[in-house]
């Protein structure tokens, strides 16, 4: 749950590359678990670790390392690919920010205990008015929508998350006001490496099941594995998987080395 989070915050203190290895191996067996670990390790933990105050880090990271699942709330019904055209607002009222809006396609929303929410504190500034908030599940005004019926990843819930006059303490502002889009861009780039690891793991898992089948299945008196045409396909797939793996690993190494 927290592979590369420092030991002082309850993590394992390993590298980002180690996170990628874990995500790949878990995705090889169960894609939904791989997705959860990807989001938690490459996006959510990183966001709190990079932008949070010491109080926020000590409050949330140890729990996220154990069993506190988090969700990243950016996409909305009217802003998917153009994610920073979001409509969710956060208005400062005394010691609170009042959030109003709806988030869509939120992974693990059904089981999450905390949500990292992108909301606009200054709509006139457009994307430069976006800020990030830590919103606990029990916060009044937060409501989880119905679970989407997806084609796959059934064990991972995907839901809408609604904020109706949701009062969030000002101390739960993550980072600086108006800097949310910068944080999101940085973290999403790391998250994409995790997505690569998911895909490699899923492909390897499918490949691992394919080979035994080709050796059991017989046609025209012999195993389909023994047909040259089948062997060409197997070799091509193995090469593509290994190429994807090496590209993903290299991206993770560059991230650990703080290189582009």
Which tens digit of pLDDT belongs to each residue from 89-131? Answer: 999 999 999 999 999 999 999 999 999 999 999 999 988 999 9
Task: With respect to residue 17, please indicate whether it lies within any of the assigned structural domains.
Answer: no
Q: How many domains does the chain have?
A: 1
Q: What is this structure's pTM?
A: 0.93
Angle of helix 228-256 relative to helix 180-216, nearest 10 degrees, comes to 150
Q: Cβ distance 237 to 77 under 8 Å?
A: no
Residue count of the chain: 260
CATH number at residue 153: 2.40.110.10
| Mean pLDDT over the full length of the chain | 96
pLDDT tens-digit map of 194-223: 999 999 999 999 999 999 999 999 999 999
Domain assignment present for residue 15? The answer is no
Asked, for residue 35, whether it belongs to a domain, the answer is no
| pLDDT tens figures, 136-171 | 999 999 999 999 999 999 999 999 999 999 999 999
Q: Is residue 169 part of a domain?
A: yes
Domain that holds residue 112: 70-182
Residue 218 domain flag: no
112 inside domain: yes
* Contact between residue 109 and residue 158 where contact means Cβ atoms under 8 Å apart: yes
pLDDT in the model for residue 205: 98
pLDDT at 80: 76
123 located within any domain = yes
Residue 81 has pLDDT above 90, yes or no: no
> How far apart are alpha carbons 122 and 133 in whole angstroms?
14
Buried residues in 184-219 as b, exposed as e (16+ CB within 10 A): beebeebbebbbbbbbbbbbbbeeeeeeeebeeeee
């Amino acid at each position: 749950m927290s592979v590369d989070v420092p030991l002082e915050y309850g993590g394992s203190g390993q590298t980002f590359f180690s996170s990628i290895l874990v995500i790949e191996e878990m995705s090889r067996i169960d894609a939904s678990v791989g997705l959860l670990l990807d989001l938690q390790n490459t996006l959510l933990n990183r966001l709190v670790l990079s932008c949070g105050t010491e109080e926020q880090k000590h409050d949330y990271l140890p729990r996220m390392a154990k069993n506190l699942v988090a969700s990243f709330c950016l996409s909305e019904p009217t802003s998917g690919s153009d994610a920073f055209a979001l409509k969710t607002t956060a208005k400062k009222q005394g010691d609170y920010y009042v959030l109003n809006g709806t988030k869509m396609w939120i992974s693990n929303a059904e089981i999450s205990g905390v949500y990292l929410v992108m909301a606009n504190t200054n709509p006139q500034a457009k994307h430069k008015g976006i800020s990030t908030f830590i919103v606990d599940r029990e916060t009044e005004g937060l409501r989880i929508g119905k679970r989407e019926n997806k084609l796959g990843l059934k064990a991972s819930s995907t839901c809408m998350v609604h904020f109706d006059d949701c009062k969030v303490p000002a101390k739960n502002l993550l980072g600086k006001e108006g800097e949310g889009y910068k944080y999101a861009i940085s973290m999403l780039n790391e998250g994409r490496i995790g997505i690569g690891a998911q895909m490699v793991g899923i492909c390897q898992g499918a490949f691992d099941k394919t080979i035994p089948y080709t050796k059991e299945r017989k046609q025209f008196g012999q195993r389909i594995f023994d047909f040259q045409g089948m062997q060409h396909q197997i070799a091509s797939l193995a090469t593509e998987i290994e190429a994807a793996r090496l590209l993903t690993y290299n991206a993770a190494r560059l991230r650990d080395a703080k290189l582009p």
